[in-house]
Amino acid sequence: MTVNLSPTWRLSTDNAAPNSGRLVLVNRTTGEAFGPGDTVKPYPSYGFMSAREAVRRLARTQSLDEEELALVGRFIKGTKGDERQ
């Protein structure tokens, strides 16, 4: 499943990472995937923050359905299996 958070960012379980199926924040431009605790700079005006916080902020700008909101919540909470080891 994929949740589009912005033109540049998406939350996805469908990625090319070795641990496919893991919930990650993906930069659409670079294809780089981030776990909840990783540090990202989503946009210059946001500065550096955890991917968890970036998803929280990006999700506020979107109209998401219940299933998408549940996926966002799972990422923010860092549900077991979604954190990088």
Residue 85: DSSP 8-state: -
pTM for the full predicted model = 0.82
Q: pLDDT at residue 74 above 60? A: yes
**Does 81 reside within a domain?**
no
Residue 65: the pLDDT is 94
**Does 21 reside within a domain?**
yes
Q: Which domain, by its residues, includes 65? A: 2-76
**Does 34 reside within a domain?**
yes
Number of domains in the chain: 1
The CA–CA distances, whole Å, from 9 to 13, 34, 51, 55, 85 equal 13, 11, 11, 9, 22
pLDDT digits (tens, 9 = 90+) for 18-73: 555 689 999 999 999 999 999 999 999 989 999 999 999 999 999 999 999 999 99
